[in-house]
Structure 1
Amino acid sequence: MEIYFHWFDLLGIAVFAISGTLAAWRKQMDGFGVIVLATVTAIGGGTLRDLILDSPVIWLSDNSYFLAIFAAAGFTILAVRNRVLIPNNTLQIADAIGLAFFVIMGTQKALDHGTSGFVAIMMGTMSGVCGGMIRDVLCREIPMVFRGELYAITCIFGGLVYVQLLGFGVAQMPAMLIGMAALLALRLAAIRWHLTIPVFGKKANDLR
């Protein structure tokens, strides 16, 4: 089972690195900026989660995480330089796939450390959103989690589905796959149909 977890981690790392590279491309950053943005997007959330859980930060002793980041960034750079058609919503879709992997894996890691289901879901959400938050701040944009379509809510939903399935006695691997699929489906639906949680309404500008 551990080998599957490792590959899920690497897939999440790679997808988030792609989203970081695409963000750097949109901002016309140089090569160093690309690597920095790809790296912080890929490992920022997991690093913060591990520090809070007082767990060893896994990339300190496993170079495969950086190999996944560099390979994903290199692949994306080649695609861009060769003028491969990249749809406008590619960054959002790559980010959504990364969320699906990271949130569920982060939730399981928190459960492994003996946290409650509620705390595990919060840790999983942190794993998914914090890397993207750092990416957006470095790009001088309002983080995606604070604007537009449902974002953090989808992370909480996916984590909740996973924890509930475990509570019902579903085996870990099927529960993970269902949790990832539920999160990804809700996030993609939010992107497609612009699902939001309105707070201030259309007349918010009248307060200015």
Structure 2
Amino acid sequence: MFWCCCWPIGKCAKVLACFDTLVVGIFAYKSFGVLMDTLNNLHWTTVISFLFFTSFLICHILGTVFIVLAAQKKIARYCLPRLVLIAGLTVCSLVALIFMVTYFAGSAKTVNTFLFRVYEYFFGVALTETDKLELKHELRYYGVAFFLLAALFFIYNVFELWLTIKFKQTLNEFEPVPTEPSAPQLSHNPAYAEPPLKSYPNMA
């Protein structure tokens, strides 16, 4: 983000797109490794994690390819896939941030009870009161860390969204002017020739 103060806006947009794709690619590779390690004893969480990061990686690759093409061909509409992706991430990070604010604002007990029920339902393990008490303290620490990550991720996405919009606006200045005439041309018959003008003698 700090490098963008010195770089051209197009270069910064491409570098951030490549950086995002690299990070998501690492997570996708890690999830693929976990999937291969547990191939004989698959769990639904492993499969969903692999499918999620793989789909996420494909979206980032498409967005990066189009943002590079937009810079090379000077076509503003090629920025739209990247803009849609960043806008979706911004909304998701904002929702997570609001959720964490409500969690620390007084909804921690309700959220913890919901999480305990979800855990018991999916994993088939009944939690004792001692387990719940320990998990409550752990969830509070995890909540603080997740809140900080959500806040940083939201700020990062807002910056990327603003940067990509500015980059798209600069490309709008290079939109080609249509060369086709706006009004239809009259049909012309080459076999038709206008009659010659009559000439009159000078009577003076």
The normalised TM-score by structure 1 is: 0.29
The normalised TM-score by structure 2 is: 0.29
Tell which structure's C-alpha radius of gyration is larger.
2
Q: Which has the higher contact order (CA 8 A, sep 6+)?
A: 2
